[in-house]
Each structure stands twice: as structure tokens, then as C-alpha cells.
């Protein structure tokens, strides 16, 4: 939501969009807590506890921001929004670090948090892009500029993640730790179809759809663009689910 032009959109858009994102964040926190709790003997460590703390703080700050939208307290609104961004970012970094036990001096310790951050950026941009397109079905007289701005943000996030996945794979293959290289080889030998499906559904298809969205925005036809954003959202979500499956099978952030 930080990429949206706050002065050009009605406050009701942020109320509805914030509520949707809050529910998603709450379900994610509950799911991760259950995941760690079920494997308490091995999963509940100091690191995972701190990760859950920051994710819970993010949910609280996001909830406070939504509450602030119903008041005129601008200072509280700005502080709760910035706090949500900071706590959410901290939670993502910790989630990435907790996903792979890499030596401090290895690049993998940097790759994993960046991979988690870019995934969140892509998921957030495609979700808010779809929601802002839906808003144009309600407010038909709205300027097209905010929609175009979110579209460009989504494309930038998609290209960044696509480039990073290629970079991460090459780096791990050429200069990764022995365990990471072995995991990469195992992934290609035993689960190459899963990896190719992840790339096709989560990267290639949304890239094609992004071109189609742009063509509809040029017309402009916001209803068609919103429909295409729905499809792109499905592709990105399925791609990220497959990416988490790859992470589970190989401990690689693809």
C-alpha cells in the first residue's frame, strides 16, 4: 500500500484493502504458529520465537493503522503504518534466516532474507493491484494514474524476483556452500518438473499477463485489466506455494 498515491485515492480504499491484508496476515501468523508448535521439540527456538514476535507485532501495527483510518489522528496513522512496515520487514528477514542454517560468512545468509522480501513484495503488489482495479469498478470516475502506478510497481517486483532467482541459482552453483550445491543438484535431478512449473506459473505467465494488462490500461479498460490482475494473482500465489514446496524439499529459496 505504500506504493499507492495516498492523496489520490479515497480513504475507503485503504479501509477495505487494509482489512483484506490484515485478515491474510492474521491467518499467516496463526498458520506459522501452529507449524512451529506442532514441531515444538525442534522448531521452537529463540530465533523462531523472535520471528513470531515480530510477525505478531506486524499484525498489531497493521491493525492499529486500520483503526486509525476511522479517526482523524494523522500522527497515529503515520506512526502505525511505518511501524507495520518495519516490523513486517524484520519478520521477513528473520523468516529467511531461520529457513537455512548458513555460515555467517556465506552469501546464502543474505540470499534467503532477500528471497523472502521479494516474494512478499510480489505478493503484495499483485494483491493490491487487483484490489485497486476492483476499486475502479466502484469509483468509475477515478484517474487511471494510481492504477498505472501500482501496475508498474507489480512489474518491477516481478522482474526483480525473476532476476534474483536466476542470480541465486547461478551463485549457489558456482560459489555456494557444499550443502547448498548438493541441494541444487538434487532439486534438478529429482524435482526439475516442480521447478519448471514454478517458473512457468509464477514467473513466465505473470510476465505475459503484465503485457496484456498494460495493453488494456492503454485503452483504458480498467475492468479487463482487473480481470487479468486476478489471473496474475492466481499465478503468483500458485508459484509461491510451489516455491515453498521447493524450500521444504531442498532448503533452497526458489
Q: Is pLDDT at 99 greater than 80 in this prediction?
A: no
For residue 238, pLDDT over 90 is answered with: yes
Cα separations in angstroms, 193 against 28, 72, 99, 132: 28, 53, 23, 34
Q: How far is CA 91 from the centre of its chain?
A: 12
CA pair distance 11, 231, nearest whole angstrom: 26
Domain ranges of the chain: 1-98, 110-254
Please tell me the least confidently modeled range out of 91-100, 116-125, 199-208, 225-234: 91-100
- pLDDT recorded at residue 226: 87
What is the arithmetic mean of pLDDT over 170-188? 79
Residues in the chain, total: 254
pTM of the complete model: 0.85
Backbone angles phi, psi at 83, to 5 degrees: -65, -35
Mean pLDDT of 128-138: 85
Q: Across the chain, what does the average pLDDT equal?
A: 85
DSSP 93-110: HHHHHTT----TTSTHHH
The band of 39, judged by pLDDT with boundaries at 50, 70 and 90, is low
The residue written with cell numbers 558456482 in the block is 174
Lowest mean pLDDT among 147-151, 184-188, 207-211, 237-241: 184-188
Residue 116 has pLDDT above 60, yes or no: yes
Residue 211's pLDDT is what? 93
Residue 41: band (very low, low, confident or very high) from pLDDT cuts 50, 70, 90: very low
- Whether the per-residue pLDDT at 141 is higher than 50: the answer is yes
**Tens digits of per-residue pLDDT, 196-214?**
899 999 899 999 999 999 9
Residue 84: is its pLDDT beyond 90?
A: yes
Amino acid at each position: 500500500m505504500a506504493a499507492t498515491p495516498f492523496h489520490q485515492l479515497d480513504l475507503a480504499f485503504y479501509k477495505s484493502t487494509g482489512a483484506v491484508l490484515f485478515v491474510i496476515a492474521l491467518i499467516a501468523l496463526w498458520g506459522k504458529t501452529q507449524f512451529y508448535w506442532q514441531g515444538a521439540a525442534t522448531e521452537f527456538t529463540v530465533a523462531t520465537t523472535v520471528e513470531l514476535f515480530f510477525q505478531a507485532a506486524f499484525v498489531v501495527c497493521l491493525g492499529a493503522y486500520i483503526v486509525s483510518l476511522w479517526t482523524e489522528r494523522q500522527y497515529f496513522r503515520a506512526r502505525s503504518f511505518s511501524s507495520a512496515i518495519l516490523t513486517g520487514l524484520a519478520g521477513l528477514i528473520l523468516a529467511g534466516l531461520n529457513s537455512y542454517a548458513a555460515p555467517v560468512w556465506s552469501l546464502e545468509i543474505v540470499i534467503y532474507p532477500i528471497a523472502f522480501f521479494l516474494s512478499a513484495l510480489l505478493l503484495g503488489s499483485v494483491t493490491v493491484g487487483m484490489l485497486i482495479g476492483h476499486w475502479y469498478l466502484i469509483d468509475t470516475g477515478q484517474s487511471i494514474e494510481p492504477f498505472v502506478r501500482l501496475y508498474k510497481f507489480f512489474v518491477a517486483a516481478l522482474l526483480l524476483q525473476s532476476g534474483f532467482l536466476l542470480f541465486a541459482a547461478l551463485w549457489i552453483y558456482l560459489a555456494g556452500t557444499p550443502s547448498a550445491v548438493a541441494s541444487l543438484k538434487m532439486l534438478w535431478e529429482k524435482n526439475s518438473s516442480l521447478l519448471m512449473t514454478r517458473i512457468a506459473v509464477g514467473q513466465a505467465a505473470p510476465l505475459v499477463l503484465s503485457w496484456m494488462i498494460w495493453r488494456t490500461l492503454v485503452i483504458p479498460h480498467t475492468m479487463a485489466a482487473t480481470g487479468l490482475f486476478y489471473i496474475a494473482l492466481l499465478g503468483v500465489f500458485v508459484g509461491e506455494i510451489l516455491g515453498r514446496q521447493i524450500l521444504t524439499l531442498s532448503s533452497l529459496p526458489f
